[in-house]
């Protein structure tokens, strides 16, 4: 999960996407690449948890 002090811009840099593609994970509410090509409503960590179940 992303740090609470992370900004949308720093999240975009970390995720390798544009600021317009950053959104909140539907499960943990951390920043994730949510919109556009390659976007997903879940962050990578939550996606792994869901797929493991």
Q: Name residues whose C-beta falls within 8 Å of residue 35's C-beta, 6 or more positions apart in sequence.
A: 20, 21, 22, 23
pLDDT (0 to 100) of residue 35? 97
In a domain, residue 16? The reply is yes
Residues 51, 6: Cα–Cα separation, whole Å = 26
Q: What is the pTM of this model?
A: 0.83
Query: One digit per residue, pLDDT tens: the chain, 53 residues?
Result: 545 689 999 999 999 999 999 999 999 999 999 999 999 999 999 999 999 98
pLDDT (0 to 100) of residue 53? 83
In a domain, residue 37? The reply is yes
Domain tally, the chain: 1
pLDDT (0 to 100) of residue 24? 97
- Structural domain including 25 reads 8-52
Residues 52, 8: Cα–Cα separation, whole Å = 28
pLDDT (0 to 100) of residue 5? 85
In a domain, residue 21? The reply is yes
In a domain, residue 3? The reply is no
Residues 19, 33: Cα–Cα separation, whole Å = 9
């Amino acid at each position: 999960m992303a740090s609470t002090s992370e900004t949308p811009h720093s999240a975009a840099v970390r995720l390798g996407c544009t600021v317009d593609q950053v959104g909140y994970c539907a499960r943990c509410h951390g920043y994730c690449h949510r919109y556009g090509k390659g976007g997903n409503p879940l962050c990578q960590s939550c996606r792994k948890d869901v797929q493991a179940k």
